[in-house]
Amino acid sequence: MPKHFLMCRPDYFTVEYAINPWMHPEAGADRDVAVRQWEGLKAAYEELGHEVSLIDPIEGLPDMVFAANGALVVGGSVYGARFAYPQRGPEGPAYLRWFAERGYPVHGPLHVNEGEGDFLTLDEVILAGTGFRTDLTAHQEAQEWLGRPVVSLTLVDPRFYHLDTALFPLDGRNVAYYPEAFSEGSRKVLRAMFPDAVLASAEDAEVLGLNAVSDGRNVIINAEASNLQLELKRRGYEVIPVELSELRKAGGGPKCCTLEIRGEN
């Protein structure tokens, strides 16, 4: 079924601070290239029949392009973001305001969380990351507001500071992930829950190959994640490679740029 995505054009994108291991302000970033690559991602969604809504970018918020971090939307209800770093703090209220103005029930969070960066939704459960950004107490807060069981997973590699850099849902019941990004206990949980999961190599994880978006049939993925693409094709998925190298300079890929709106208001 067609999905509904919220995106933010990277009109003010730059790498001017470092809040994750991917960011190197001295190297800079080319905003024009970032916009072209982002436009290619948006076009890929629209060519697949998905709806894309846009939130206006705000000057001074260069990471607002990473819309996934702005909220979590399940069943038409919105759990807002509260960012760990002050550089991104104003993004949370901006995204929550966008939803409130359109009539969605919204919950302003009490605890630090970074939206779909650390919350990934399946049919029956929400997988939630912790360890670098999102507080464990936010997992409980999200469960209470959204009424869906939340399974906590601990991230241990600072390169994979959000759950969506280390795992993505293939459909409502299965996932792809990079085992070494998780604590041993979380690996056991993932093995028990998803015995048929796609396991990514270090090489594919290191180009943010797991920061991908699947609609259950088509997988939009960073072009450099070649081995993961082959495995997905072997499993019967249609693979759509996209080039987001400029946005990766801030630690982002297709999923980071994409907030899914599940259920309408």
Q: Which CATH number goes with the domain that contains 174?
A: 3.75.10.10
Residue pair 231/216 in contact (Cβ under 8 Å)? The answer is: no
- State how many domains the chain has: 1
Edge-to-edge strands of the sheet including 4-7? 51-54, 4-7, 259-260
Q: Is the pTM of this model over 0.85?
A: yes
Instruction: Report residue 144 as tokens.
Output: 């209470």
> Looking at the domain assignment, is residue 265 inside a domain?
no
- Active site residue ranges: 162, 256
Instruction: Please name the residue that has the structure tokens 């103005």.
Output: 101
| φ/ψ of residue 232, rounded to 5 | -65, -40
Given a cut of 70, the residues of the chain with pLDDT beneath it are 264-265
Q: Give the pLDDT confidence score for residue 77 in this predicted structure.
A: 98
> Looking at the domain assignment, is residue 95 inside a domain?
yes
Q: How far is the C-alpha of 251 from the C-alpha of 19, rounded, in Å?
A: 9
Q: Give the pLDDT confidence score for residue 1 in this predicted structure.
A: 84
Instruction: Report residue 263 as tokens.
Output: 């259920």
DSSP classification of residue 144:
H
DSSP classification of residue 261:
B
Element of type H or E holding 32 = helix 31-47
Q: Give the pLDDT confidence score for residue 264 in this predicted structure.
A: 64
Residue pair 24/18 in contact (Cβ under 8 Å)? The answer is: yes
> Looking at the domain assignment, is residue 216 inside a domain?
yes
Q: Give the pLDDT confidence score for residue 245 in this predicted structure.
A: 96
Note down the domain range covering 80: 4-260
Q: How far is the C-alpha of 172 from the C-alpha of 57, rounded, in Å?
A: 31
> Looking at the domain assignment, is residue 231 inside a domain?
yes
> Looking at the domain assignment, is residue 77 inside a domain?
yes
> Looking at the domain assignment, is residue 60 inside a domain?
yes
Q: What is the pLDDT of residues 26-68, one digit of tens each?
A: 999 999 999 999 999 999 999 999 999 999 999 999 999 999 9
